[in-house]
Structure 1
Amino acid sequence: MRGLAMTNCDQIRDVHNSFVRPESFLADESAKRAATEDDDLFHFISYVPVNGRLYELDGLRESPVDHGRTDDWLESVGPVIQRRMAEYAEGEIRFNLMAVIGDRRKMLGERVSTIDASIGRLLKKLEAMNISPSSASTPAGGAGAVEDAEVARLRSQIGRLNVERADLEHLVELEHGKRARYRFDNSLRKHNFIPMVYQLVRAMAQKGALAEAMQKAQQSPSASG
């Protein structure tokens, strides 16, 4: 039912279809075997640990596939994925391996909120002792060595938490930067460059530069590989 709900979601469908790349060339015919009606190369399969066992979740199968007991499912899933990839041609690169994790920005933000709450509690303790967070004076009425040590301890904790908070904020900024790069990369991935390449090759041919460029490309070290 969850699968049907996702399938019927227009937003998910539109985002998924927006990443379809234009194909201008036929697939390599030197593959080990041709795909049959039982194959579906272009869909995602999930591997998850459940109660100490490794399961494969494939929407094209009637039920989950049990790959046996596992103490470290990340170690166990490697050979399973490799066996599946080995069924196809050695040069086949149309595979994607992704890990589904929580949004690091959210997790880091929750940690920052926790630190803010801890700092707030420590500041209230200082206020209860009539101590300013940045003051170097002793408590009103003259405090003993025990109170001075407690004040120093509280300020030290606040200092450590502020340093940790700054580090977390830096990590949050890095995550925002990643998202900006992802958006740029996705725009390139979805853009159709075939018309531009076609016009470029055509213009080179009209100017008589295409044959020479092809010859240089064939003689380059990368072409020999």
Structure 2
Amino acid sequence: MIRLQSLRWGAARQPLTPPLDLELLAGSLTAVIGANGCGKSSLLKVIAGLQKPLAGSVRVKVPVKGGLSFLPQQQQLDRQFPISLQDLVATGFWGCGQSPEVRRQRLAAVLEDWNLNGLEQRPLMALSGGELQRALLARLSLAEAPVLLLDEPHAALDELGQSLLWNHLHAWHAAGRTLVVVCHDLAAVRQHIPDTLLIKSSGCVFGSSSELIHPQPHVQVAC
């Protein structure tokens, strides 16, 4: 469960929206949409604890095991860092107490799931944008976090990559994980994600994706 109470975020003394009160239930799947610069990525960082809010509070209630996983945008990564694709994906095991053999089997399965076979030893700088994005998503597949925050997970993905993404998101959702997804593809949001938070400088709006993306009356959420 994620609860935001009177939350304001943005640059110092420059909140991006009026105070936001919102509760996302455990096991929910929610998109975050809005114009460029409205604060979508910043909101995910505040929820993840990577950025302090200007006011209000954030409460993320998760089981002791697993915690929260955050998928950043690619441009926040150092592509010159000397690590292979396989080693990057394997960082998803952090905090897991599984045996080396179980990890080896799970890693092989995840690389196959995300169509990354044959790229295991390739350095980050030699990956295409789509290959790197699938590697980052594969890392999430290894994590046991019950809460997943994904910042533009569809970025750089081709048609196959997008199909893999949505199949995995639905599987994670069906498994009871709580997902919050920043996405610019409104058609995909309407098709795949039941609820949406629309961020606007005049106030945030929460509701079903079909209502918010089509020109129908909106319901204000304490903004």
TM-score where L is the length of structure 1: 0.25
When Rg is computed on C-alpha atoms for both structures, the one with the higher figure is 1
Report which of the two has the higher share of helix: 1
Report which of the two has the higher share of strand: 2
